[in-house]
A and B are shown apart, each in its own frame.
Chain A
Amino acid sequence: MKIAVCVSLVPDSTTKVKVAQTGNEIDDAGVTYIINPYDEFAVEEAVQLKEKNGGEVTVISYGLDKSKEAIKKAYQMGADKGILIKSSSKYFDSYVVARNLADVLKELNPDIIFFGKQSIDFDGSVVPIMTAEILGLPSVNVVTKLEINGNDASAEREIEGGKEIVKFSLPAIIGAQKGLNNPRYPNLKSIMASKSKPIEERQPAYDTNNTEITEMKLPDAKGQGKIFTNGISDVPELVRLLREEAKTI
């Protein structure tokens, strides 16, 4: 089975976001970059499929040189090949990413393609479906369960207060949600092996951004709240404030 996984590199979720001098991006100082957490579910699903059916897992990332770290993490989890489509600029919109990924995917022609459901930096949640649409493939995002039977597949997709059961045929694009599986912890041997594994580099064929970020701002700081310290005896006063001051109950 030919399997592809698209991954991205993002600031760790513990990052305290600071705005850089330029005013339209985050300050990189002290930021730890990791593979996008949802991409780990995507890689795990891909590797499990390979273990079950045989085949090869190719990881693709669009981004700066440092995005190789995300590919290396996928190597540690069991991916076989990696391709970095190297962006020449720090900013690229979701269409640029989808279009360039689609170019490479078209050539690879995989049986199934995995993404994380969204990246935790810009939270756009559009690249998996855009890529599928560019390629003319079926896609299901926010998937918590996947069953494959020959060319037919069925996915459970999380929606508000429930789930949808979606039927489609392969090849297709799946966006992984937490709950799809439990991503493995790489062992020392695979970590060592990943260091010397080559990553192929490509140049993007398309780089016209349709949208740009002009300003990034932190939310307004909140004033000091009314915090009571007498425990249970403060409950009536809290309820009074919620009713009379906040008018929320």
Chain B
Amino acid sequence: MNKILVFAESKNNEFKSPAFEVVSAGIFLAEKLNFEFSVITVSNAGEDQLKSLGKFGAKEIFSINLEELNSLSGKPGIKYSHSAIASVISNFAKDNGYGIIIISGTAFGKEIAPCVSVKTGYSIVTDIVDLSGIESKMVKRPSYAGKCYTQVKINTDNYVLTIRPNVFKASENPSEPSINKFEAGKLNISGIDFKSCVSEVVVSSGKLDVAEADVIVSGGRGLRGPEHFHLVEELAAALGAATGASRAVVDAGWRPHGEQVGQTGKTVSPSLYVACGISGAIQHLAGMSSSKYIVAINKDKDAPIFQVADYGIVGDVFEILPALTLEINKLKS
């Protein structure tokens, strides 16, 4: 009999969709495999916040207090340590017989999961988009930024999985969770587990990130210069969307790299992706073609972007973007 441990990530002591999605994935796995599952958290979240995980079906929650954990570091003023949190998850899993660990493939999750894999000696598969073959230890993940999908067979009894954010929808499944406070001191953690420590988290202007957004409006060379990107930003604002960019405009220095969508940027799968003045180089298509709906606006009717678009207008972005923003704002008011 194996057990599943789900790591629910918190941000500023709140649980958000990545946490709810892994809980849903945990339930899915637990039912498929007929295994027990528990949730582990490392945060300063209060009881109410922890209970929010119950809304998505968490029944048994082990909560490790972050401040208490940090106090074991012997270093003052640290926010958190990826390596120490990885030790917490690994030691808790090993001590309590959890052979399957699920972590969200966020920036945070990607930093801790490989560490958990080595510490536990469990194998690892990252960025999973389909768990339906888990009874035969088969999982599906994209490769080449989404140009293809691979079925991966796991050959070990125990394993760590990271799941791609925004793919497994968090489904409500209310339950009254039992919240068990677990002392970090009982997990054999010491100063050497704090190999690297985050001293500061800097938020860039509160903008929505393409990796987290459900709607993305991206601009490319067709905008002709960074001074015209306000057209993209205005449409994004009207749609409540994140702003993205093609590699060409990032390399030209028009937009920051954090906005780049594609093979050397971010791979995204929002509900709606609006490509403005983007021709659709193969690297860009790889990074966004798994979006649910794609809208393309481009003056070249033969641009490859139209081959993946669900809807499109052949025309001038300088005319169409303001008209589209106006039309959407009208609708919303």
Contacts and interface: CB of A to CB of B under 8 A. Distances in A.
Interface of A: 11, 13-17, 19, 24, 26, 37-38, 93-95, 98, 120-130, 132-134, 137-142, 144, 154, 157-168, 172, 177-179, 209-219, 222, 225-232, 234-236, 238-239, 241-243, 246, 248-249
B152 interface: yes
Contacts of A19: 148
B153 A212 contact: yes
B159 to A, nearest CB: 8
Contacts of B196: 138-140, 166-168, 172
Nearest to A117: B110
Nearest to A127: B114
Contacts of A210: 123, 154-156
Contacts of B1: none
5 contacts: A130-B118, A161-B212, A168-B197, A210-B154, A218-B149
B146 interface: yes
Nearest to B281: A14
A177 B89 CA distance: 27
B168 to A, nearest CB: 17
A95 B124 contact: yes
Given A211-B154, A225-B311, A231-B315, A242 B197 contact: no
B148 A17 contact: yes
Is the interface on chain B under 10, 10 to 19, 20 to 34, or 35 or more residues?
Answer: 35 or more
Nearest to A36: B264
Interface in B86-134: 106-108, 110-111, 113-115, 117-119, 123-127
B295 interface: yes
Interface stretch (B19-27, B38-46, B225-233, B302-310): B302-310
B203 to A, nearest CB: 4
Most buried by B among A14, A24, A159, A231: A159
Contacts of B197: 166-168
B199 interface: yes
A227 B263 contact: no
A161 B207 contact: yes
Contacts of B265: 178
Interface in B303-326: 306-316, 319-320, 323-324
A248 B147 contact: no
Contacts of B198: 164-167
Contact of B153 (A11, A141, A157, A214): A214
Interface stretch (B47-55, B58-66, B137-145, B176-184): B137-145
Contacts of B125: 211
The prevalent SS among residues of A at the interface is mixed
B107 A159 contact: yes
Interface in B145-175: 145-156
B83 interface: yes
Contacts of A16: 147, 282
A242 B264 contact: no
A214 B152 contact: yes
B119 A133 contact: yes
A217 B146 CA distance: 10
A243 B311 contact: no
A166 B111 CA distance: 12
A141 to B, nearest CB: 6
A126 B319 contact: no
Nearest to B139: A211
B189 interface: no
B118 A249 contact: no
Contacts of A134: 118
Given A163-B204, A238-B324, A178 B257 contact: yes
Contact of A228 (B146, B203, B314): B314
Most buried by A among B110, B198, B289: B110
A211 B143 CA distance: 15
A245 B215 CA distance: 16
Nearest to A154: B199
Give me the 8 closest cross-chain CB pairs, A-B, nearest first: A231-B315, A210-B123, A138-B195, A133-B118, A129-B114, A126-B114, A159-B107, A168-B196
Contacts of B124: 94-95, 126, 130, 211
B293 interface: yes
Nearest to B325: A235
A172 B154 CA distance: 30
B313 A217 contact: no
Contacts of B212: 160-161
B118 A218 contact: no
A4 B152 CA distance: 31
Contacts of A228: 311-314
A219 B331 contact: no
B271 interface: yes
A130 to B, nearest CB: 4
A238 B201 contact: no
A134 B106 CA distance: 23
Contact of A231 (B108, B260, B281, B319): B319
B327 interface: yes
Nearest to B77: A167
A124 B148 CA distance: 14
Contacts of B315: 229-232, 234
